[in-house]
Structure 1
């Protein structure tokens, strides 16, 4: 994984961790369920986005240094498997 992706992913995960800690505080303080659910939804969407970014990284690794015409059937099957498995 390239350092720039690693740094961005770690920042993203730290923000998500902060969101989760905030949700825990909402629950501890018996906040409104709708407010808590809203924050849970936001955290879930943020984690989905991070997951999609990681999937893009995996696909990029599979095709780096290849021209589109150089992608084999096996390469395409590997990419389809990654998408199916992780999205």
Structure 2
């Protein structure tokens, strides 16, 4: 019995651009940071429920707040880098950098 040769499977989706790979990597980084912060906040709840000293709780709150700030700045840096890497013109790049600057001024 003769068998038909099958063609190698080809993907109909184009290969991801370097910008989308970059974005995906940094989204994972930000998500991982947020998951760690989530664990810190759960630990804080446990500390308060167990009546831990105020200074201990304050120290952990400070650590969680700083971790949140770092996640925010990482997200903003990724936003700027992505805008620059996919920009079609200098004008578009400048608009995107300005947009990111306004976000930083408003929320940082």
**TM-score, reference length from structure 2:** 0.67
List alignment gaps of at least 5 residues for structure 2: 1-19
- Is structure 2 residue 28 aligned with structure 1 residue 31? no
Choose between structure 1 and 2: higher helix proportion.
1
Larger Rg: 2
Q: More deviation in 50-59 or 40-49? A: 50-59
- The match for 1:45 is 66
- The match for 1:17 is 38
Change (3 A) 1:82 1:4: same
Change (3 A) 1:56 1:40: same
Q: Shift of residue 84 of structure 1?
A: 1.5
Count of aligned positions: 85
Q: Is the 8 A contact 1:55 1:86 kept in 2?
A: no
**C-alpha distance in structure 1 between counterparts of 2:32 and 2:96, whole Å:** 31
Q: Is the 8 A contact 2:80 2:96 kept in 1?
A: no
**TM-score, reference length from structure 1:** 0.81
Runs of 4 or more, structure 1, over 6 Å off, are none
Change (3 A) 1:55 1:22: same
**C-alpha distance in structure 2 between counterparts of 1:76 and 1:27, whole Å:** 41
List alignment gaps of at least 5 residues for structure 1: none
1:53-68 superposed matches below 5 A: 53-66=74-87
- Is structure 2 residue 39 aligned with structure 1 residue 6? no
